[in-house]
Amino acid sequence: MDYRVLLKEENEAVKERFELATERIREIASGKNELPEGEVSRYFKQTAAFLEKCRAIYAAVYDGILDSCTLEELQRENRKFYEELFPENYESSFANPAYAVKSIGEEYGRILSFLYAELRSERVFCFEQNLEKMTYLNELFIEIYCMFESGDVSYHQVKDAIYWFLYDYAEEWIGWRVREMFDTSLSFATSIVMGADLTNIRYLYSYGEYISENEIRMAQYLSSLPQEEIDEIAFTFTDGYREGFALKNVDLSKKKTVNIRYNIGFERVIRAAVYQFREMGLEPVIYRAAVNTLNKRQNLKVGYVSSNPNEQYDYDHRFDEAIYFDKRMLDRKLTCMRKAYEVFAEEAEGFAGPACFEVFGEIPFEPESKPEAYRLSERQQNLLVEYSAESNALINEFINQDERSFTIIAYPLPSIGEQFEEIFEEVRKVNNLDKEKYKEIQQNMIRVLDRAAFVKIMGRGSNMTNLTIALTDLEDPETQTKFENCLADVNIPVGEVFTTPRLKGTNGLLHVGKVYLNGLCYKNLRIQFEDGMVTEYSCDNFSEEEEGRKFIKENLLFNRDTLPMGEFAIGTNTTAYVMAAKYDIMSKLPILIAEKMGPHVALGDTCYSYSEDVRVFNPDGKEIIAKDNECSVLRKENPKKAYFNCHTDITIPYEALGRIVAVNKERVEVPIILDGRFVLDGTFRLNDAFQKTETSESEMETGAGGLVEDILQEDGASSNTDEDAID
């Protein structure tokens, strides 16, 4: 359905308001105002000029003018809009809180930088033809401008105006986000995927997102592949989704929708996936990563995305909610979310879960911590933890986690290097490795682990890891097992065995020399566990140790004082490891592949969160019983204490390993890995890949990791935070 038809009623309702606001903004942009000359006046003129451009884009989309533009014109317009955020220009942009404070002053700089960043989101509504949201944002800008024009304004007055704007319109912002999750008529992106001429890269500019060489080269490369190869890539993706339901014994025919998440440029594969999902009876719901502050979650992005013109920009604004987040706003957001879910209760029941087509290969990002950026107070940190728990519980009220699934796969972007096409094909092979081969090898490992009381992990060289992982006891070893034999169904590629550790008795130090988690670099990351809970942590990212602790608390503990170890796993995909070493892309791999390349532990929830009571069996017929730990078992009496709504995997690569040994109650040790090689009977074939190439010493201390909550953030499932059902 054409968006102009879909939103006609809403747009007509605000049309007069929009025109009045446009007229006022035009006056401000032209300099017809009462503000004295200076940086504040320049800020408002520049911002008003930006909003004028947005109005022009809206009209151009509405009138079909963009459809007749040349490719060069579309590229020029796209670059002009985003170039302000490019690293070489960002230092003199009001979007940068450091520059805003420097130019405007301490009192107003940060909050006006927030306002500018929020107004920049108006671009996407131009392309989606959502006049209602554009009007709201324009009126907020005018309200703030008038406060300065009056000549008698304080920081708190500006802050209050923003607070009440967000409070009053929370139902519209949050309600729209929930609707995007379930309403197939919101087909803006689906129409591009299914209707555009994908052989002509002009279609990339239909989204309104930043289009880099990554998106262009990706679309061109996929256009060069024969349809059967495209279908094969899509089939691995969609069949994993189907298998997820089969393994849980859930009737997929009762479901109606699937949320597809992808990076712009992959439309040809996504189109094939849509056709395959439709054969399963599922219609796609495809929505953009959230752009409004009420729906964002730090600098994480859930939905369809494109390359980031400057990750520091998102990092600088990750805690902008510090301006307004209090208990009253928490309650308001939850109330609005519940109301929206009640409206879409039937659609939520038919929601099958997310299918995530992830990418990797961008230049790893090392953030700068700026004192001018907003930070959450201790009170706000606690409130966000509370909101995360409450919103997740609300979502699980409407989406039965026992009856939904997911799948996730990853492919490289052209930015991974000159050998992109070769790497792409190698990753395709990794994503399609023989499950049967791994099934038997991993089962041999599980037989030993099932007899163990705990597992010891020791690093080697400069890696200081020294961990003892306590394992769940088996009541009936003939019918029960502790570890799941993971065979690339929902979680592609193949290659790990995992369990939920027993917290009591899980102690020691986890150390990784360099690791990228959720796009952020951690240097010499050290995490200490006591009875399965994080007690100490540090990294060498900053000259001051306390800054490193804050960095970890904000981005790994998600503002909590501690988290449990929710998972322990041993990755077996040596083929992926050698491939990564061959192309020197270890630090660029996503968690999907990285977690299969050595042992890893996860901070946060277990892999079975919200689905602990679903019976799961390994291929040998044994039931997996290690699904709870001492935290998650509290779900029966106090869910708020049971779940943390996050799950961050941290992998120690093979070359940093001294040994992994299974130890039984009699303290008899059975080695599984020694000096980075598999030594357990029945696993020797995993070492074959190592014979094909030598791994350089430089990779010994490079870990790999990521945030699995990217998969499920909006579905209240598995280990993920679902305040993100609104993102």
Q: How confident is the model at residue 33 (pLDDT cuts 50, 70, 90)?
A: low
> In this structure, what token pair is assigned to residue 240?
């994993």
Residues 594, 706: contact at Cβ < 8 Å?
yes
Pairwise CA distance, residues 173 & 160, whole Å: 18
pLDDT at 590 > cutoff 50: yes
Q: Which pLDDT does position 398 carry in this prediction?
A: 95
Cβ count within 10 A of residue 65: 12
Q: Which pLDDT does position 725 carry in this prediction?
A: 32
422: helix, strand or coil: helix
209: helix, strand or coil: coil
Please give the C-alpha separations between residue 164 and each of 138, 157, 160, 727, in angstroms, as whole numbers.
Answer: 15, 11, 6, 21
Residues 490, 241: contact at Cβ < 8 Å?
yes
Please give the C-alpha separations between residue 568 and each of 45, 108, 460, 482, 576, in angstroms, as whole numbers.
Answer: 55, 47, 19, 11, 20
pLDDT at 604 > cutoff 50: yes
Closest to 45 measured CA to CA, from 54, 57, 32: 32
Residues 625, 702: contact at Cβ < 8 Å?
no
Q: What is the mean pLDDT of residues 214-240?
A: 97
3-state secondary structure 545-592: HHHHHHHHHHHCCCCCCCCEEEEEEEECCHHHHHHHHHCCCHHHCCHH
Closest to 373 measured CA to CA, from 39, 96, 159, 560: 96
407: helix, strand or coil: strand
Q: Which helix (H) or strand (E) holds 524?
A: strand 520-530
Q: The pTM is what?
A: 0.90
> In this structure, what token pair is assigned to residue 48?
């008003």
Pairwise CA distance, residues 417 & 584, whole Å: 10
In angstroms, how far is CA 593 from the centroid of its own chain? 16
Q: How confident is the model at residue 711 (pLDDT cuts 50, 70, 90)?
A: very low
Q: Which pLDDT does position 703 carry in this prediction?
A: 45
The DSSP bridge partners found for residue 531 are: none
Q: Which pLDDT does position 726 carry in this prediction?
A: 32
Pairwise CA distance, residues 577 & 91, whole Å: 39
> In this structure, what token pair is assigned to residue 435?
């499950």
Q: How confident is the model at residue 723 (pLDDT cuts 50, 70, 90)?
A: very low
> In this structure, what token pair is assigned to residue 485?
């034999």
| Sheet with 647-651: strands ordered across | 484-486, 496-499, 565-571, 599-604, 647-651, 704-707
Contacts 24+ apart (CB under 8 A), 339-342: 339/171, 339/175, 340/171, 340/174, 340/175, 340/177, 340/178, 340/179, 341/178, 341/394, 341/395, 341/397, 341/398, 341/725
pLDDT at 614 > cutoff 90: no
Q: How confident is the model at residue 592 (pLDDT cuts 50, 70, 90)?
A: confident
Q: What percent of the chain clears pLDDT 90, i.e. is strictly above it?
A: 79
Q: Which pLDDT does position 701 carry in this prediction?
A: 41
Choose from 31-35, 381-385, 437-441, 467-471 the range with maximum mean pLDDT: 467-471
Q: Which pLDDT does position 31 carry in this prediction?
A: 79
Amino acid at 410: A
Pairwise CA distance, residues 439 & 275, whole Å: 30
Angle, helices 109-120 vs 155-182, to 10°: value is: 30
pLDDT at 706 > cutoff 70: no
Pairwise CA distance, residues 94 & 105, whole Å: 12
Pairwise CA distance, residues 689 & 520, whole Å: 29
Angle, helices 155-182 vs 327-343, to 10°: value is: 20
Please give the C-alpha separations between residue 125 and each of 50, 59, 198, 206, 444, in angstroms, as whole numbers.
Answer: 14, 12, 23, 12, 54
> In this structure, what token pair is assigned to residue 484?
């799941």
pLDDT at 717 > cutoff 50: no
Please give the C-alpha separations between residue 171 and each of 97, 286, 530, in angstroms, as whole numbers.
Answer: 28, 21, 43
Q: Sign of torsion, CA 411 412 413 414?
A: negative
Closest to 108 measured CA to CA, from 100, 96, 99: 100
pLDDT at 373 > cutoff 50: yes
Distance, first Cα to last Cα, the chain: 25
Q: How confident is the model at residue 71 (pLDDT cuts 50, 70, 90)?
A: very high
Question: What pLDDT digit, counting tens, does each position of 535-574 carry?
Answer: 999 999 998 999 999 999 999 999 899 999 999 999 999 9
Angle, helices 8-30 vs 39-62, to 10°: value is: 140
Question: What pLDDT digit, counting tens, does each position of 174-191 carry?
Answer: 999 999 999 999 999 999
Pairwise CA distance, residues 663 & 672, whole Å: 11
Question: What pLDDT digit, counting tens, does each position of 128-153 carry?
Answer: 999 999 999 999 999 999 999 888 89
Q: What is the mean pLDDT of residues 327-353?
A: 97
Question: What pLDDT digit, counting tens, does each position of 279-315 carry?
Answer: 999 999 999 999 999 999 887 899 999 999 999 999 9
| Sheet with 283-285: strands ordered across | 283-285, 257-261, 351-360, 407-412
311: helix, strand or coil: helix
Q: Hey, which bits of 407-453 come out as E strands?
A: 407-412
Q: How confident is the model at residue 103 (pLDDT cuts 50, 70, 90)?
A: very high
pLDDT at 718 > cutoff 80: no
Q: What is the mean pLDDT of residues 637-660?
A: 90
> In this structure, what token pair is assigned to residue 599?
């042992």
